[in-house]
Chains A and B, each alone.
Chain A
Amino acid sequence: MPSLPKRNVVLGLIGILGFFAVWQVATWRIHNAVLLPGPLAMFEALCGLCVEGRLWGDIGASLRRVVVGFLIASAVAVPLALALAASSLLRGLLLPIVTFLRPIPPIAWIPLAILWFGLGDPPSFYITAVAAFFPIFINSFSGAATVEADHLNAARCLGAERWALLMRIFLPSALPSIWTGLRIGLGQSWMAVVTAELITAQSGLGYLIQLSRLNLDTDVVIVGMCVIGFIGALMTATLSYVERWVMPWRHRHVD
């Protein structure tokens, strides 16, 4: 078992090197820095942006929008999902609305978001929150709905009442699914922020890409894309890593 992660790291590095190699060969063949700048040009652009300081501001702006939207979505979606799982009245009342709103992609909310919130951060908060809400809600709800009947019964015959059942049984039963929802929701939110910034913002990684495209700075466009991919992967990895502290029981088993 312990050799497996190491093997994956080696394989991953080989894959990435191979990717850069293919990319480099492709740039030699195409030979047009606007259509496809090479990896070296991209690293140069990356260093330039870092030194200039501009990149940090854009990363910060995008991260701020994602974190705010994601937190709002989590704060609404998780309690709502638990309440719906525990109450058939709320379920009957609200589940159809969620089912109806869910297929609407976050981008489709952009016109309304601009009308309601103007330009700048607020419409982006709205878009990132909408994007994160549904994965978090759906996963939390299905997690809470599959709570073991024996766990509920055991808790009730040990004296647990409504609130204790919700907090001590439903919530931890659903936590693995909630966590999956948070991971997916954060990813969706990150993707949505870039989309929102292409259209509504004056800062952020999406705005950087859009501006550089208009200036035909394709190397900066690609830097922006790589940074987006890198940060997105980093966020997912962080949540996976934090999981062992949030749910210690899932990582302690007899062999």
Chain B
Amino acid sequence: MAGSRGLVELSAIGVDLGTGIRATRALDDVSLDIVPGEFVALLGPSGCGKTTLLNVIAGFIKPGSGSVRIDRKLVTGPSARCPVVFQHHSLFPWMTAAGNVAFGPEMLGLPDPAAIAREYLGLVGLAGQGTKYPGQLSGGQRQRVGLARALSIRPDVLLLDEPFGALDAMTRELMQELLLTLWERDRHTTVFVTHDLEEAIFLADRVAVMAGQPGRIRAWIEVRLPRPRTPDQRHGAVFQNILAEVSGLVREESLRVFQEV
């Protein structure tokens, strides 16, 4: 499976959002290629167009110009080949945790959705929580269910939009490690949106540093840390050097936006 499916190609994407006084050039001439099995992070300050870019890949937004292809096929709308993990309000509150995870397999007509749900809840460490409703789970547990729900349909491409942004620092690090464990297992192409520099570096093979107004990719940073990644790498020299480089870029960009306003 790894190395065969999940090729993402964006060419010259342009997106305008809103009308009149709210009109924004949300993305301008964004091109990127992601090879099957690669883990890419989109990093940038809030409002720079990260969510818009992810929504374009997911097929939620039709770009005004340019094209999105997944495995050479033009993306014209949402598809079960690339599910999204959202930051907020993503679980269906009227379904139990198990119901949420079984939803995708049910929609795709896979055999025994309930068993698939059990399997994936087990993988994210929530084996005993299947009968609970999202309202009964903690923030970290909810995001784990969201992850299980997206993975249960065995995606070619997994899209995540600041999925751990609302979690406390300790939970966030554990979630990052869980995400990597699951990624090592299946090697689905992954696009991870974040504004957290360390998170982007710890997770990704490549980090796209984005700039806003209009949204575009400013620089690509290769993260040459060995896999599988381990928590102690966070404190190593390689990590810190990359962090310094990325900080410089992001700071420059944030300063520019800060002074314009």
Contact B84 A254, beta carbon cutoff 8 Å: no
Residues A248 and B133 in contact, CB atoms below 8 Å apart: yes
Partner of B84, one of A154, A169, A249: A154
Residues of A within 8 A of B44 (CB): none
Q: Which of B59, B79, B90, B107 has the most CB of A within 10 A?
A: B107
* Closest B residue by C-beta to A173: B94
The answer to whether the Cβ of A148 comes within 8 Å of any Cβ in the partner chain is yes
Query: Which residue of chain A is the closest to B153 with respect to CB atoms?
Result: A158
Taking CB atoms and an 8 Å cut-off, the chain A residues in 162-188 that contact chain B are 164, 168-169, 172-173, 175
Q: Is there a chain A Cβ closer than 8 Å to B98's Cβ?
A: no
Given the contacts A168-B103, A252-B136, A254-B135, A159 and B86 also touching, CB distance less than 8 Å: no
In the complex formed, the residue of B with least CB distance to A171 is B94
Q: Does A91 contact B (CB under 8 A)?
A: no
Q: Could you tell me if B149 and A157 are in contact, using CB atoms closer than 8 angstroms? A: no
Contact yes or no, A164 B78, CB < 8 A: no
Q: Are B133 and A158 in contact (CB under 8 A)?
A: no
* Complex CA distance for A249 and B88, rounded to whole angstroms: 18
- Given contacts A157-B79, A158-B104, A159-B80, A249 and B133 within 8 Å (CB-CB): yes
CB-CB under 8 A from B174, the residues of chain A are none
Task: Tell me which residues across on chain A come within 8 A of B89, comparing CB atoms.
Answer: 148, 150-151
On whether the beta carbons of B90 and A164 are closer than 8 Å, the reply is no
Is the Cβ of A254 less than 8 Å from the Cβ of B137?
yes
Q: B86 — nearest CB in chain A belongs to which residue?
A: A150
Q: Is the interface of A mostly helix, strand, loop or mixed?
A: helix
How many angstroms between the C-alpha atoms of A63 and B166 in the bound complex? 51
- Are A252 and B84 in contact (CB-based, < 8 A)? no
Measured in the bound complex, the distance between the Cα atoms of B93 and A148 in whole Å is 11
Which residue on A lies nearest to B131, using beta carbons? A252
Q: CA–CA, A153 to B85, complex, Å?
A: 10
Check if B93 sits within 8 Å of A249, measured CB to CB: yes
B138 interfacial by beta-carbon distance below 8 Å? yes
Number of inter-chain CB pairs below 8 Å: 77
The answer to whether the Cβ of B36 comes within 8 Å of any Cβ in the partner chain is: no
CB closest chain-B residue, reference A164: B107
> Is the beta-carbon distance between A249 and B94 smaller than 8 angstroms?
yes
Contact among B59, B108, B135, B138 for A252, CB-based, below 8 A: B135
Chain A 236-255, CB within 8 Å of chain B: the 1/0 string? Answer: 00000000000111001110
Query: Which of B133, B136, B137 has the most A CB atoms < 10 Å from its CB?
Result: B133
Number of interface residues of B (CB under 8 A): 32
Q: How far is the CA of A154 from the CA of B134 in the complex (A)?
A: 15
Report B117 CB to chain A, min CB distance, Å: 12
Could you say which residues of chain B place their CB within 8 Å of the CB of A172? Answer: 92, 94
Residues of A close to B132: CB separation below 8 A: 252
Cβ–Cβ contact B135 & A155, under 8 A: no
Most buried by A among B78, B149, B150: B78
- Complex formed: what's the CA distance from A168 to B46 in Å? 32
CA distance A253 to B93 in the complex (A): 11
Closest CB of chain B to A227's CB: distance in Å?
Answer: 37
A151 to B94, CA, bound (A): 11
Which chain B residues lie closer than 8 Å to A54 at the CB level? none
Give the shortest distance, in Å, between B79 (CB) and chain A (any CB). Answer: 7
How far is it, in angstroms, between the C-alpha of A161 and the C-alpha of B79 when the chains are bound? 10
Which among A148, A153, A154, A160 has the highest number of chain B CB atoms within 10 Å?
A: A154
Q: Is B82's CB within 8 Å of the partner chain A? A: yes
Q: Which of B83, B133, B135 is A157 in contact with, Cβ under 8 Å?
A: B83
CB pair B94–A175 under 8 Å, yes or no, is: yes
Query: With a CB–CB cut-off of 8 A, which chain A residues contact B93?
Result: 249
The answer on a CB contact under 8 Å between B107 and A160 is: yes
A153 to B86, CA, bound (A): 10
A156 on the B face (CB < 8 A): yes
| Interface, chain B (partner A; CB < 8 A) | 58-60, 77-80, 82-84, 86, 88-90, 92-95, 103-104, 107-108, 132-138, 149-150, 153
Please provide the 3 A-B residue pairs with the shortest distance between their CB atoms, ordered closest to farther. A159-B107, A159-B80, A158-B104
Can you list 16 A-B contacts with CB-CB less than 8 angstroms, sorted by A residue number?
A150-B89, A151-B90, A151-B92, A153-B60, A153-B78, A157-B60, A157-B82, A158-B107, A158-B150, A159-B79, A159-B104, A160-B107, A169-B92, A249-B133, A252-B135, A254-B135
